[in-house]
């Protein structure tokens, strides 16, 4: 075995060892982050409805949270590209925790402008929680990227499912502190996000993205070492950043469409339930099952994405989200069982779309451009979700929950032509 072969073998052993440690740290942060994001999903719309007193603005919190997550995704992506995942994700979770504290203060003082600003900042936690999935895949082998993403997502389940079911207890805590009951879950969110950031800053060492970049450079150097002239040219000029592949565009489209459909329907479900006299505990059950469906199937989804393929699972996302929209549209508002089914399908379709889309993006990027590209795509996803959240309240106020649900399902069906475009040979795609 040559010296170069020994170096490559040592690098591979290091990659595997750090990947195992990285996944463990990401799992811990995701459990905490899941509890943090659940607060806004469960009671954000209800809190705004209570403070503002207008049903048509009930979708505004989801829009603000996702708009804030767009800005945070851009910042976290750029910081991660320069400084690594540890610093980028730590900053994002820290901002999310401060935003949650701002929501509590706004609710306690009945300050609507502060509430809207705080929800924007709180959105940083949502963006960071999603971007952590990339940290788990930076060092993963190509054939295991879907599985690595799924490990990061499924670990969110514990906190995300527990969060909605703690709405009533945290409401009691809030009342004991003489603040509105609906602000209680944001107390939990503040603690969860701040702890998640602390875990990443302290324990995500060595940084997976920076290590992946170094290992890729070492492999490239070893491959070109046989040609002295090539090595000399490489040393004289920095390597250009490679362009992203078409798979990144397809993956982005899959995640954007699934995000719009999911956010629009999910945001208005608590409002629809409260309008038909469901109590907060029932709202918590429905949203808890929805979030469980978003994250709990991840190990199986990741395995299917790696074994069956990215594109078939993107089609499965479209079909499942369409079914969710149809069930939501036909379900009587007083039928808890059908609402649970609709929201479970909605979460499952989102899960299929997110993991297949993420894997497509990872496949089409390299460590040299990955974090920046991922951050940009997550900005587009967040902006799309913000639009879906903002319009959901307007559509529901004017046309009702049934039309909103069916519109979200039909929108999801647009994934199918996107997938057909992806399957076309490059030569056929040109006029």
> What mean pLDDT is predicted for residues 252-263?
91
Does 162 or 415 have the greater pLDDT score? 415
- Apex 208 CA angle, 206 and 212, nearest 5: 115
Pick from 210-214, 238-242, 308-312, 396-400: least confident: 238-242
> What mean pLDDT is predicted for residues 302-306?
93
Contact 355/156 with Cβ under 8 angstroms? no
CA distances from 313 to 89, 127, 131, 350, 416 (A): 28, 23, 21, 11, 11
HSE-CB for 248 with a 13 A CA cutoff: 18
Provide CB contacts within 8 A for 7, sequence distance 6+: 218, 222
Instruction: Assess whether pLDDT exceeds 70 at residue 8.
Output: no
The Cα 88–Cα 131 span in angstroms is: 10
Instruction: Assess whether pLDDT exceeds 80 at residue 66.
Output: no
The Cα 92–Cα 12 span in angstroms is: 30
The Cα 365–Cα 244 span in angstroms is: 5
Per-residue pLDDT tens digits for 130-185: 888 888 888 888 888 888 888 888 887 777 767 667 777 888 888 888 888 888 88
Tell me what pLDDT residue 231 has. 47
Per-residue pLDDT tens digits for 211-248: 988 888 777 676 665 454 444 544 444 445 455 567 88
Share above pLDDT 70 across residues of the chain, in percent, rounded to a whole number: 86
Per-residue pLDDT tens digits for 11-46: 788 888 999 999 999 999 988 888 887 766 667 777
Q: Which of 29-43, 164-178, 346-360, 378-392 has the highest mean pLDDT?
A: 346-360
Tell me what pLDDT residue 4 has. 58
Tell me what pLDDT residue 296 has. 85
> What mean pLDDT is predicted for residues 286-303?
88
Domains of the chain: 15-213+244-429 (1.20.1250.20)
Which of the four pLDDT bands, split at 50, 70 and 90, describes residue 372?
A: confident
Which of the four pLDDT bands, split at 50, 70 and 90, describes residue 319?
A: very high
Pick from 34-43, 191-200, 229-238, 348-357: least confident: 229-238
The predicted model scores a pTM of: 0.75
For 84, the 3-state DSSP assignment is coil
């Amino acid at each position: 075995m040559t010296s170069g072969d020994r170096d490559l073998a040592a690098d591979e052993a290091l990659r595997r060892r750090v990947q195992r440690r990285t996944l463990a740290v990401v799992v811990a942060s995701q459990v905490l982050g899941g509890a943090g994001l659940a607060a806004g999903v469960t009671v954000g719309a209800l809190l705004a409805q209570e403070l503002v007193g207008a049903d048509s603005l009930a979708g505004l919190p989801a829009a603000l949270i996702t708009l804030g997550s767009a800005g945070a995704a851009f910042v976290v992506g750029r910081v991660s590209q320069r400084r690594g995942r540890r610093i980028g994700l730590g900053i994002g979770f820290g901002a999310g925790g401060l935003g949650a504290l701002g929501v509590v203060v706004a609710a306690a003082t009945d300050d609507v402008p502060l509430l809207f600003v705080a929800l924007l900042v709180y959105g940083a936690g949502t963006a960071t929680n999603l971007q952590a999935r990339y940290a788990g895949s930076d060092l993963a082998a190509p054939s295991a990227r879907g599985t690595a993403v799924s490990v990061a997502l499924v670990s969110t389940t514990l906190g995300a499912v527990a969060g909605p079911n703690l709405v009533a207890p945290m409401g009691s805590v809030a009342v004991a502190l003489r603040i509105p009951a609906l602000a209680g879950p944001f107390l939990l969110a503040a603690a969860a996000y701040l702890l998640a950031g602390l875990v990443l800053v302290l324990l995500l060492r060595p940084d997976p993205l920076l290590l992946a970049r170094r290992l890729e450079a070492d492999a490239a150097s070893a491959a070109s070492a046989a040609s002295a002239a090539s090595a000399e040219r490489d040393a004289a000029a920095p390597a250009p950043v490679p362009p992203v592949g078409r798979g990144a565009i397809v993956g982005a489209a899959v995640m954007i469409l699934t995000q719009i459909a999911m956010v629009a329907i999910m945001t208005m479900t608590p409002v629809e339930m409260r309008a038909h006299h469901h109590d907060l505990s029932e709202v918590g059950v429905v949203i808890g099952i929805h979030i469980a469906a978003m994250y709990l199937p991840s190990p199986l989804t990741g395995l299917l994405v790696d074994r069956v393929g990215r594109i078939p699972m993107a089609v499965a996302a479209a079909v499942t989200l369409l079914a969710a929209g149809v069930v939501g549209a036909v379900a009587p508002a007083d039928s808890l069982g059908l609402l649970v089914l609709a929201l479970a399908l909605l979460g499952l379709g989102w899960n299929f779309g997110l993991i297949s889309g993420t894997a497509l993006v990872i496949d089409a990027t390299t460590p040299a451009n990955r974090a920046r590209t991922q951050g940009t795509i997550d900005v587009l996803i967040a902006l799309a979700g913000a639009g879906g959240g903002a319009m959901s309240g307007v559509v529901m106020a004017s046309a009702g929950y049934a039309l909103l649900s069916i519109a979200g399902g039909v929108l999801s069906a647009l994934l199918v032509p996107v997938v057909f475009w992806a399957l076309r040979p490059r030569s056929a795609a040109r006029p």
